[in-house]
Structure 1
Amino acid sequence: MKKLPIGVQTFAEIRSDNYCYVDKTPLIYRLADQGKSYFLSRPRRFGKSLLLDTIAEAFAGSRELFTGLYLENHWDWDRRYPVVRIDFAGGVIQSTGRLAERIRQQLDENASQWNITLSRNDPGDCLDELILRLHESLGERVVVLVDEYDKPILDNLESPELATELRDGLRNLYSVLKARDAQLRFVFLTGVSKFSKVSLFSGLNNLEDITLDKRYATICGYTHRDVEEVFAEYLEGVDLEELRRWYNGYNWLGEPVYNPFDVLLFFAKDKEYRNYWFETGNPSFLVRLVEERRYPVPNLERVMASDELLSSFDVGSLELETLLFQTGYLTIKERHRLGNEYFYTLTYPNREVKRALTGTILSALAKSAGERARYQMALYQALAAGDCAVMRDIFHAFFASIPHDWYRKNQLAGYEGYYASIFYCYFTALGLDVIAEDTTNAGRIDMTVRIEGKIYIIEFKVVDKGAETGSALAQIREKRYADKYRGQGEIYLLGVEFDKENRNIVGFEWTAAEGLS
């Protein structure tokens, strides 16, 4: 049985030690054959570094590593190109001085491999000198590969002034790639985000962005066929549809792909479904934006975004939807064309991200992670049993547990989306089938929840102190929302009303939808 490449950093290690490897070299051939300068944005831990390792070994002429792969017989192995690698993946850079040191250190290491000593001091000047001298001394054009090109900026988004200074420093470095175009054979930059060309790639107008290019949609990640064929030895006892629901679903306008980190850890950890990828990152900055902008969390089920919104951002213009997409918490569900413009529907890629992200947001919104955990099992059992009275008591106690001082500092008490977000996050964190803004021919249901043959149709209202309750349930009946689910299970109609002054539930009414189950 082949080994899994858990923790392996380079393509050379994988190919020389009998590890499982998904062959992406047909796509590498196309890149090298049809163009010269590329940019690719993908979420963290999606195989970007391994992709660059593979490209580096191909241009360096390491034919022995490509035995059995597409490139073995589709590459000019007689030509060896000097390869310059720049990698910002390791550590956190918190000053422009440290950025300059990191770049200079890496360029010196690249130069030493060719017995070259750099004489200049500025990072951009050093890169310029290295490219020129490599080309002159070796007689071949140079390959430049930059991994996590944007990480110094992303690590400092909460300090906009510093992030801007780091961005400007990187812009000076990357501008060399345009100036030395004649000496370059191939350029590839990868990262999580896509900054606008004006802000970071000023003048680098020959850089081809393949992030949403259908031809390269699967260049990182595993297709379902990859999983079935390459990991066939590990699939005994695995429900492939369940595996797909948990870890597949990332879409860049082509065939959807699995997160490779999840797949490898799933097989390595006795085939347990866990939040492997999610737990390696900290979305605290994104969660803070959700709070600050009072974003209705159920809306994450269906986010509408323009081509411009998805394509780039800058330090001074951070759109939540852009960040969620580029960091991998949302993915493309559909693309629509209106005239000459493209628009996109975004949603969660899979069960792992939906459950884990909403659970994290719930802890932030409620400021009571301990209470949430205590009530989760009881809530699941109440839903499964159709016991709405217990459900009411759980949510009432939960809202009562949130410190009043938190409400004083956050203007959310009169915000209907806040209360709906709490319910939504609770249900999705339990892994339930939840539909927010569920469309019917008579309007939109605020929320539909399905569990073990039961369907809950829920409407939320925020009311003034002392106002009559009952309008939420009345709206469900009046609009005949339950008709959509006729014959699909036991249907419960649930109207929930909140007092924005008392910050808790004042109306929680329910009934079974007779004759519709």
Structure 2
Amino acid sequence: MNTIPDQRTKLHVGKPPIGLSDFPRLIREEYAYVDKSLLIRSVLDSPAQVLLLPRPRRFGKTLNLSMLRAFFERNRPENADLFRGLAIERAGEEYMAHRGRYPVVFLTLKDVKTRTWEDCLGHLRQVISEEFKRHEMLLEGEFLDTQEQKLFRKVRACECAGHELENSLRNLLTWLERATGEQVILLIDEYDTPIHAGYQSDFYEEIIGFMRNWLSGALKDHSSLKKGVLTGILRVARESIFSGLNNLEVAGILEAGAFADKFGFTEPEVERLLADSALSEKLPEAREWYNGYLFGETVIYNPWSVLNFIHKQPAPPAAHWVNTSSNDLVRELLESGGGDIRADLEALLAGGSLECQVMEDIPLRDIRGDPDAIWSLLLFSGYLKPVGTRTRKLKVFHELAIPNLEVEILYGRIIDHWLTRHIRSTHLDDLLDALTHGDVPEFAKHLQTLVLNMLSYHDTADGKGRAPEVVYQSFVLGLLANLGDRYRIRSNIESGLGRADILMSPTEPGGRGIVMEFKRLGEGEEMEEQLQAALDQIEEKQYPATLRAEGCREVLKLAIVFDGKQLQVRDNRTSPWPTKIS
């Protein structure tokens, strides 16, 4: 990990900077700051002229580029104090000598989210125009000839032709070096946002064509370029945009090295933030909800959710990050994958994992219906984490899992969306009401009805009319998704002396907790024996221990045994509830 021993400064202590990505303002107004200034050293040390740093949304990309701009940009003497006491200052004069030295071109495309190509191109014109206005000093001297001045004014006024717009970055870099005598630092934030918009709104070919010409003009063998740093979510297929760009280094989330800890929060950083807010005892909750990402070999927390978690205390943990997006694309892609995707998703929700060949260069136009491409996109977008690899026939396969409880909630919502398209919401509401009120006979009856109506939709049978218990478990998890605001719902979690299939802990203190243990009736087995075995397992393994530690005064223990599409439920207070429905 590329770090320097920490020295505590007042810059680390302050109110959480929710949604603030302006580095100078964050420092001057003394917001809490997790020191990522060694990103500057990593950029300068990299032998690559152009760096692409893909990370999930809201993982600090814009703030880090704002920091790079504040560090490198010339004629900004007021920025000198911003880096006092930070790790980059302690890294040595060889790095600080670059502060305030270069002209900087800074463009953020994060708001270029349009539904038509015409609107997209218009928005890009405006973004480029604003950056040209920042460099109007080029018109004041004799840096540009008459034709160049005319072209500059056309771009600034959003009146240039398409080919002139495509050459705008290349020309601006040339002019800035000519005027200052220094090569240029080029920073482009969220470069792939308009590409995602093109994919979703059917102007993919148009935006790919523009981005290819616009970026290659500035990045490919440009003598005026000192360093180029691009951020985004994905590495779009090299043949689409970056073909022929031999000076490009991609430091993605699977890469160990100098950039692995520069986006998102590490465990020591989260411990420090919580301690500064007198919340050290909240670390286990933060770890369960927001930890679990793995960038290279570095374990990372979701920074947006951690800051919101601190800001909203004493409120319980919540799904802060997944609620900042509609997640429509995620749901649509999962639906496009058919039965294989659904089976993998059910395994994930049951606490398992899936295996795929990760595609680092993702061809968006070909992604629908391709499980490997879909799971790869979800990995790079922050919805999955890598937990292992293996090589088979010279091909590398990654094992992927859900990173944390926050993301698990999103997948539960997607399953719920699928379910509600096939059943009346009143049936699901009746089941959930019966469960939360402890009415086991009614719960068993409604669960049986839903299994009869829905299990074939999930395509879970193994050819003998029976399904593995993990499928039943994940099916029930999907049904429980609507209780996410009233219960913390966890699956395959360590509790007592083993791993409980499902634990439900009420968000209201002192409420009734619920433990579920699932079994499938095998050949020659008796229903009564398996029901009792499930209840005995709950007791022997002490599954309720976690719920009692969380303040539950009462715990409802449910044994659920399936025989094909028939099921019975027994709780710790009653005889089994048969649910034969013809």
> Which residue does 1:23 correspond to in 2?
35
Asked if 1:151 is matched to 2:193, the reply is yes
Counterpart residue type for residue 206 of structure 1: N
Contact 1:156 1:162 in 2 (8 A): yes
CA distance 1:8–1:323, shift in 2 (3 Å): same
Equivalent of 1:232 in 268, 275, 280: 275
> Which residue does 1:265 correspond to in 2?
308
Counterpart residue type for residue 58 of structure 1: F
- Give per-residue Cα distances to partners, 1:251-281, cap 9 Å, x unaligned: 1222211111111111221242111111111
CA distance 1:237–1:413, shift in 2 (3 Å): closer
CA distance 1:154–1:147, shift in 2 (3 Å): same
Q: CA deviation at 1:222?
A: 1.0
Helix, strand or coil: the match of 2:294? coil
Structure 2 distance, partners of 1:223, 1:291, is 34
Q: CA deviation at 1:414?
A: 5.3
> Which residue does 1:432 correspond to in 2?
489
> Which residue does 1:254 correspond to in 2?
297
Structure 2 distance, partners of 1:201, 1:458, is 52
Structure 1 distance, partners of 2:270, 2:28, is 21
Compare 5-14 and 422-431 and name the one that shifted more.
422-431
Compare 221-230 and 114-123 and name the one that shifted more.
114-123
Helix, strand or coil: the match of 1:175? helix
Asked if 1:209 is matched to 2:254, the reply is no
CA distance 1:305–1:414, shift in 2 (3 Å): closer
Q: CA deviation at 1:92?
A: 1.8
| Coordinate RMSD, CA, aligned | 3.6
Asked if 1:124 is matched to 2:193, the reply is no
Contact 2:24 2:82 in 1 (8 A): yes
Equivalent of 2:215 in 174, 178, 184: 174
Contact 2:274 2:282 in 1 (8 A): no
Asked if 1:138 is matched to 2:150, the reply is no
Structure 2 distance, partners of 1:217, 1:381, is 47
> Which residue does 1:163 correspond to in 2?
204
Structure 1 distance, partners of 2:180, 2:42, is 25
Asked if 1:113 is matched to 2:134, the reply is yes
Q: CA deviation at 1:108?
A: 2.6
Helix, strand or coil: the match of 2:488? coil
Contact 1:38 1:210 in 2 (8 A): yes
CA distance 1:289–1:421, shift in 2 (3 Å): farther
Structure 1 distance, partners of 2:330, 2:193, is 16
TM-score, with normalisation over the residues of structure 1? 0.81
> Which residue does 1:278 correspond to in 2?
322
Compare 193-202 and 287-296 and name the one that shifted more.
287-296
Contact 1:302 1:345 in 2 (8 A): no
CA distance 1:398–1:510, shift in 2 (3 Å): closer
- Give per-residue Cα distances to partners, 1:443-488, cap 9 Å, x unaligned: xx9x933466955123399xxxxxxxx98977996xx999998931
> Which residue does 1:327 correspond to in 2?
381
Q: CA deviation at 1:79?
A: 5.3
> Which residue does 1:6 correspond to in 2?
18
Helix, strand or coil: the match of 1:315? helix
Structure 1 distance, partners of 2:525, 2:183, is 69
Q: CA deviation at 1:389?
A: 3.6
Structure 1 distance, partners of 2:366, 2:269, is 40
Equivalent of 1:90 in 111, 114, 120: 111
- Give per-residue Cα distances to partners, 1:420-461, cap 9 Å, x unaligned: 65313234655333249xxxxxxxx9x933466955123399
- The 5-angstrom pairing of residues 221-370 of structure 1 reads 221-236=264-279, 238-272=281-315, 273-292=317-336, 293-294=338-339, 295-296=342-343, 297-300=345-348, 301-306=351-356, 308-318=358-368, 319-337=373-391, 341-367=395-421, 368=424
Contact 2:51 2:230 in 1 (8 A): yes
Give me the identity figure in percent.
24
> Which residue does 2:44 correspond to in 1?
32
CA distance 1:510–1:393, shift in 2 (3 Å): closer
Structure 1 distance, partners of 2:185, 2:414, is 42
Compare 307-316 and 57-66 and name the one that shifted more.
307-316
CA distance 1:37–1:496, shift in 2 (3 Å): same
Structure 1 distance, partners of 2:558, 2:225, is 65
CA distance 1:354–1:76, shift in 2 (3 Å): same
> Which residue does 2:143 correspond to in 1?
none
CA distance 1:493–1:27, shift in 2 (3 Å): same
Structure 2 distance, partners of 1:375, 1:157, is 39
> Which residue does 1:488 correspond to in 2?
541
> Which residue does 2:84 correspond to in 1?
67
Helix, strand or coil: the match of 1:214? coil
CA distance 1:327–1:185, shift in 2 (3 Å): same
Q: CA deviation at 1:113?
A: 2.2
Counterpart residue type for residue 134 of structure 1: L
Helix, strand or coil: the match of 1:432? strand
CA distance 1:425–1:166, shift in 2 (3 Å): same
Equivalent of 2:124 in 91, 99, 103: 103
Contact 1:449 1:455 in 2 (8 A): yes
Aligned residues: 476
Counterpart residue type for residue 242 of structure 1: E
> Which residue does 1:464 correspond to in 2?
none
Structure 2 distance, partners of 1:99, 1:460, is 57
Counterpart residue type for residue 226 of structure 2: R
Structure 1 distance, partners of 2:169, 2:529, is 65
Structure 2 distance, partners of 1:178, 1:413, is 48
Counterpart residue type for residue 457 of structure 2: L
Contact 1:142 1:184 in 2 (8 A): yes
Equivalent of 2:241 in 197, 200, 204: 200
Equivalent of 1:379 in 425, 428, 435: 435
Structure 2 distance, partners of 1:197, 1:11, is 31
> Which residue does 1:391 correspond to in 2?
443
- Give per-residue Cα distances to partners, 1:84-112, cap 9 Å, x unaligned: 12211115223333333333322232222
> Which residue does 2:464 correspond to in 1?
none
Q: CA deviation at 1:286?
A: 2.1
Contact 1:124 1:172 in 2 (8 A): yes
TM-score, with normalisation over the residues of structure 2? 0.72
Q: CA deviation at 1:174?
A: 1.6
Q: Runs of 5+ in structure 2 lacking a partner?
A: 1-12, 139-148, 155-159, 462-466, 494-498, 505-512, 544-556, 573-582
